Amino acid sequence: MSSATWREGTPPPLPGPQGPAGWLRVIRRGVPAILILLLGVVMILPLRGVERLFHGRRRPWTGPHVQVVCRLVLLCLGIGWHREGRPMRGPGAVVANHSSWLDILVLNAAMPVFFVSKAEVAGWPGINILTRVTDTHFVTRDPKLARAQAAEFAERVRAGHRLLFFPEGTSTDGRRVLPFKPTLFQGFLDATLPAGLAIQPISARYVAPPEQDPRFYGWWSDMDLGPHLLTVLAAKRHGHVAVKLHPPIPVSGNDRKSLSAACYSAIAADFARSELGF
């Protein structure tokens, strides 16, 4: 993810919990969600140890484990969720639009993936524990490390990991898809990557709760995480998110610009169809 932040428009207010009823909703949703996350973290550690003995770097057990945990957390939050399409088979990676911190839950719930994030996130308190447990792939913007990071990326792809990238380079208000950065797709053209590599675009479209700002779930610009989290937890009713897994795009025969354009077109078209009511 890029350090640049999309700042178009004025974000909606974040009122947080309003009165005792609002705080009750925060507790009713937040406490079970936290307990499930903690239990998931406790369970994944021994599971990964056994998994490593039988499968090495592959994650045939812990990937689905994280998927189930994220689905349960979304259930606790009261956010509706459904998926269309099937996860890709064979070696590859995933790209998606980026709207909110909720993407972590939503996209993990859709299929077992491993997020790619800037190295600075590894030092964020609290978040660093989750990223390490879920085997997030960290990247550093240093040309001296480019070769080593490309080798690590190739090794993880060969191990069957679905690394997930956000080609927009920033989060948005959830109502649009920003242009993709073609430079990100250069990493998919490395000769050391497995033959038959493909990239699966995924679109996540958030629908706000009734009578709320359509950008309710978006987290962008200078919005603080705490107030946004409390506002989501305190909502009287919730909307839903529609996740679509598009057909994988073969890397062979494409360059970084054509790969970027094809992935962008698939995701942007899904947003356009939703605007037309399809």
Q: What is the pLDDT of residue 146?
A: 66
pLDDT digit of tens for each residue in the chain (278 aa)? 334 689 888 999 999 999 999 999 999 999 999 999 999 989 998 999 999 999 998 889 999 999 999 999 999 999 999 999 999 998 899 999 999 999 999 999 999 999 887 777 666 655 666 677 778 887 776 667 667 777 888 888 888 899 999 999 899 999 999 999 998 898 888 888 888 999 999 999 999 999 999 999 999 999 998 999 999 999 999 999 999 999 999 999 999 999 999 999 999 999 998 776 65
What pLDDT score does 127 carry?
63
What angle (nearest 5°) sits at the alpha carbon of residue 19, between those of residues 15 and 21?
A: 110
Distance set, CA 171 to CA 92, 106, 220, 244 (Å): 23, 14, 6, 18
Residue 189 neighbours by CB distance under 10 Å: 14
- Distance separating alpha carbons of residues 278 and 266, to the nearest angstrom: 15
* pLDDT value for 191: 83
Check residue 2 and give its pLDDT.
39
Q: Which CATH architecture has domain 19-275?
A: 3-Layer(aba) Sandwich (3.40)
Q: Three-class SS of residue 22?
A: helix
Rounded Cα distance, 3 and 117, in Å: 11
**So where are the chain's domains?**
19-275
Quote the CA–CA distance of 71 and 37 in Å, as a whole number: 11
Instruction: Give whole-number Cα distances, 229 to 26, 114, 214, 217, 235, in Å.
Output: 9, 23, 17, 10, 10
Measured between alpha carbons, how far is 37 from 273 in angstroms, rounded to an integer? 34
Q: Quickly list H helices, 145-187.
A: 146-158
- From the DSSP assignment, how many helices (H) and strands (E) are in the chain? 7, 8
Which pLDDT does position 139 carry in this prediction? 75
List C-alpha distances in Å: 147 to 110, 139, 150, 152, 161.
31, 12, 5, 9, 19
pLDDT of amino acid 47: 94
